[in-house]
Amino acid sequence: MDSISMYCKDHFLIIENSFMLEKIDIKSFDDIIISHEFPTRKYKFYLFFTQPVQYEPSKGWINRIICSIFSHNNNPYEIKRAYYD
C-alpha cells in the first residue's frame, strides 16, 4: 500500500507519496469540500486552489513518467481524492 506523508515547508504544504511530491502554496487554498457516503465508509476530499499545484517526481525514470502523466491529465487548480475506511 502506498504511504502518504504531509508536512509544511516554507510556505508550502507538501503531500509526498512514493511517486511524487505535490507542492501547494498555503495562501492559495480557495475551497475545501469533504463528503462521506454512508454506509459505504467512503470519504471524498475536494481541494480547490487559486494557484496551480506543483508536481515534482521522486527519483527514478518510471516516477518521472508517472508524474508527467498525472500532471498532464489533471486540473492543476484542484485535487480530488477518495478514501475508504
Q: What is the pLDDT of residue 59?
A: 82
Which range marks the domain in which residue 68 is found?
A: 5-84
In whole angstroms, what is the distance from residue 11 CA to residue 34 CA? 23
More confident residue, 48 or 68: 48
Burial class (CB in 10 A: 0-12, 13-18, 19+), 61: exposed
Cell triple for residue 23? 507542492
| pLDDT(68) > 90 | no
The pTM of the full predicted model, rounded to 2 decimals, is 0.70
Strand partners, 70: none
Count of structural domains, the chain: 1
| pLDDT(50) > 70 | yes
